[in-house]
């Protein structure tokens, strides 16, 4: 017999009182060797920035392992407490967010194959009664992406909305990627049902 | 071959826990006419099915090593005492199979007794309380239990429609132990006359699910001469029974 769940409700306009913290966007400290920075903009159906959004990320380490007891491959070999795998960034007035992390490795799909490197993302904001879930893949992982079982289920014409692409913002930041999240519109981001 | 308490690795096959899907109507729709701000902020394209794999059945376990300061008592964070009715908010976090969820972070935020949030974008002309920030966090114990001491929040007006007032509520954010279990919700108070007018509360269509968001007054748990008490149990997605393959000799 399973109980009803406590229903989801919106984070509302004032979550930034509690949820963001200075280290939130830094899954690893800035300047960590091999770190990548993912920047993007969260926009609504009118194409306007969502200035009161919250982006959360969860991912494997570069060896494809999770620091979590339910990873049945056992203890994380590579690391450790140092890589928490979790990032949290509120959006700015212009809808932008930033996550500094390490690129995840391929992760087994549980059936003998691999999933391409990816990051799970939750999107929250005022006006969202429940989170929306998406995934970040990387445009420079073409071979792995072509074999990814989740991307294979996404209509081909929409897959590009899931790709973080190398980005030059003029600051020569190494490992900079861009990943915009569009709630609606022609280029609406693919969202998932878990 | 590696064996853990949750599953096996057998020639590349992983036995993973699977988290049951919510029943229809348990969570609110993303597009809800009564709540105007949903209109431009919900996906319009159909969602794509994401089978639960390693990334979805694991999740951040944020303990004291990541978030160092817990502050479960919102009435002692400042030099002086906040205004308003002191309340204890407590309960158990469990999954839909009835299993307690221990060691999980709960973050809360709320308005003060006058219905005012301490936030730069807040314009409700009600007084700020210099002794109340309205934010707290704690980690559940081994039985999934938690307890905050805070102030009864006030109702406040919002611009959704003419004369719109949010019923008194406390915002809560929880992680559970897997990405699939993440939950942000709001706790309401029993008997609040504003509940029936509130589109956010009423966005949940399943009546039995909806009342899970209303806390229960508990005389038994009040502290005489000190504070009233409200019990609020929180139910996250639970695991389906997992069928394990027999390992071959």
Question: Is B183 an interface residue toward A (CB < 8 Å)?
Answer: yes
Q: Which residues contact A158 (CB under 8 A, 6 or more apart)?
A: A188, A190, B45
Could you tell me the maximum CA-CA distance found in chain B, to the nearest angstrom?
Answer: 73
Residues of chain B with pLDDT under 70: 1-12, 64-70, 241-249
Minimum distance, in Å, between the CA of residue B247 and any CA atom of chain A: 14
Choose, out of B60, B98, B111, B214, the residue to mutate when testing the contact with A (most A CBs < 10 Å).
Answer: B60
Domain boundaries, chain A: 21-182
- Identify all chain B residues contacting A127, using CB atoms and an 8 Å cutoff: 35-41
CA distance A124 to B109: 15
Q: How far apart are CA A50 and CA A54, in angstroms?
A: 10
Architecture category of domain A21-182 in CATH: Sandwich (2.60)
Q: Where are the domains of chain B?
A: 60-237
Which A residues 102-161 touch B at CB under 8 Å?
107-113, 115, 118, 120, 122, 124-133, 135, 149-150, 153-154, 158
A56/B56 Cβ within 8 A:
no
Distance CA(B222)–CA(B229), nearest Å, equals 5
Question: Angle at Cα B180 formed by Cα A119 and Cα A148, nearest 5°?
Answer: 40
Nearest by CB to residue A8, choosing from B28, B48, B133, is B28
Reference A43, options A186, A154, A192; nearest CA is A186
Report the mean per-residue pLDDT for chain A: 93
The phi and psi torsions of B151 (rounded to 5 degrees) equal: -120, 140
User: Three-class SS of residue B52?
Assistant: coil
Are B65 and A73 in contact (CB < 8 Å)?
no
Q: Phi and psi for A146 in degrees, rounded to 5?
A: -65, -25
The reply to whether B123 belongs to the active site is no
Say which CATH class B60-237 falls into. Answer: mainly beta
Give A14→chain B minimum CA distance, Å. Answer: 6
Would you state the pLDDT for residue B24?
Answer: 93
ipTM score: 0.96
A132-138/A119-125 β-pairing: antiparallel
- Residue A127, sorted as left (phi over 0), alpha (psi -120 to 50) or beta, turns out to be left
Chain B: nearest CA to A43, how far in angstroms?
A: 8
* Cβ density class A23-52: b for 16+ within 10 Å, e for less: ebbbbbeeeeeebbbbbbbbbbbeeebbbb
The residue with tokens 């879930």 is: A133
Helix, coil or strand: residue B48: strand
For residue A137, the cross-strand partners are: A163
Contact B235 A3 (CB under 8 A): yes
pLDDT digits (tens, 9 = 90+) for B223-236: 999 999 999 999 99
Per-residue confidence (pLDDT) for residue A67, from 0 to 100: 80
Per-residue pLDDT of chain A (194 residues; tens, 9 = 90+): 589 999 999 999 999 998 999 999 999 998 899 999 999 999 999 999 999 999 999 999 999 998 888 888 876 665 555 678 999 999 999 999 999 999 999 999 988 899 999 999 999 999 999 999 999 999 999 999 999 999 999 999 999 999 999 999 898 888 999 999 999 999 999 999 99
Q: Which three-class secondary structure state does DSSP give residue B76? A: coil
Catalytic residue status for B171: yes
All residues of chain B having their beta carbon less than 8 Å from the beta carbon of residue A48 are 40
Alpha helices in chain B (DSSP H): 54-57, 207-210
Do the beta carbons of residue A86 and residue A27 sit within 8 Å? yes
Total-model pTM: 0.94
| Min Cα separation B231/chain A (Å) | 14
Question: Residues B218, B219, B223, CA angle at the centre, nearest 5°?
Answer: 105
- Strand A181-182 and strand A119-125: the pairing is unpaired
pLDDT at A81: 57
Q: Give the C-alpha separation, B49 to B27, whole Å.
A: 17
Cβ pair A7:B212 closer than 8 A: yes
| pLDDT tens sequence across A164-194 | 999 998 988 889 999 999 999 999 999 999 9
Is B19 among the residues known to form the active site? Answer: no
pLDDT of amino acid A79: 53
CA distance B140 to B61: 12
The tokens describing B188, both together, are 């309401």
- Annotate chain A with DSSP letters as a single string: --PPPPPP----TTGGGTS--TTTTBSS-TT-TTEEEEEEEEE-TTS-B-TTEEEEEEE--TTS--SSTT-TT-S-SS--TT---EEEEE--TTSEEEEEEE----EE-SBSSEEPS-EEEEEEETT-SS-EEEEEEETT-HHHHHT-TTGGGS-GGGGGGGEEEE---SS--TTEEE--EESSSTTPPP-EE-
Tell me the C-alpha distance between B9 and A110, whole Å: 9
B28 contact A CB<8A: yes
């Amino acid at each position: 017999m399973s109980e009803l769940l406590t229903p989801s409700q919106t984070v509302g306009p004032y979550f930034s009182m509690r949820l963001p913290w200075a280290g939130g966007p830094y899954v690893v400290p800035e300047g960590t060797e091999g770190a990548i920075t993912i920047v993007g903009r969260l926009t609504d159906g009118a194409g306007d920035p969502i200035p009161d959004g919250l982006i959360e990320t969860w991912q494997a380490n570069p060896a494809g392992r999770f620091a979590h007891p339910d990873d049945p491959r056992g203890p994380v070999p590579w690391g450790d407490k140092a890589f928490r795998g979790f990032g949290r960034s509120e959006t700015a007035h212009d809808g932008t967010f930033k996550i500094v992390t390490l690129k995840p490795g391929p992760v087994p799909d549980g059936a003998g194959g691999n999933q391409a490197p990816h990051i799970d993302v939750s999107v929250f904001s005022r006006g969202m009664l429940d989170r929306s879930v998406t995934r970040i893949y990387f445009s420079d992982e073409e071979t792995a992406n072509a074999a990814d079982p989740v991307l294979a289920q996404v209509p081909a014409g929409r897959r590009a909305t899931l790709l973080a692409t190398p980005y030059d913002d003029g600051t020569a930041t190494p490992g900079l990627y861009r990943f915009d999240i569009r709630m609606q519109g022609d280029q609406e981001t693919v969202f998932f049902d878990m | 071959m590696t064996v853990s308490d949750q599953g096996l690795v057998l020639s590349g096959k992983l036995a993973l826990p699977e988290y049951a899907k919510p029943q229809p109507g348990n969570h609110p729709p993303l597009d809800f006419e009564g709540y105007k701000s949903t209109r431009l902020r919900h996906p319009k394209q159909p969602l794509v099915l994401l089978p639960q794999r390693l990334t979805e059945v694991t999740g951040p376990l944020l303990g004291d090593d990541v978030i160092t300061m817990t502050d479960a008592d919102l009435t002692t964070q400042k030099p002086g005492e906040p205004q308003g009715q002191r309340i204890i908010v407590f309960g158990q976090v469990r999954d839909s199979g009835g299993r307690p969820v221990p060691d999980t972070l709960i973050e809360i935020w709320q308005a003060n007794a006058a219905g005012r949030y301490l936030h730069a974008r807040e314009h409700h002309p009600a007084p700020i309380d210099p002794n109340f920030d309205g934010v707290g966090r704690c980690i559940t114990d081994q039985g999934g239990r938690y307890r905050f001491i805070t102030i009864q929040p006030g109702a406040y007006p919002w611009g959704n429609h003419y004369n719109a007032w949010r019923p008194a509520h406390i915002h809560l954010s929880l992680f559970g132990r897997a990405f699939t279990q993440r939950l942000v919700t709001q706790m309401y108070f029993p008997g609040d006359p504003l509940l029936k007018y509130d589109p956010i509360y009423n966005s949940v269509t399943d009546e039995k699910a909806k009342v899970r968001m209303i806390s229960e007054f508990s005389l038994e748990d009040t502290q005489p001469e000190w504070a009233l008490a409200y019990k609020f149990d929180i139910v996250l997605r639970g695991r389906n029974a997992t069928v394990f393959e027999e390992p071959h000799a």
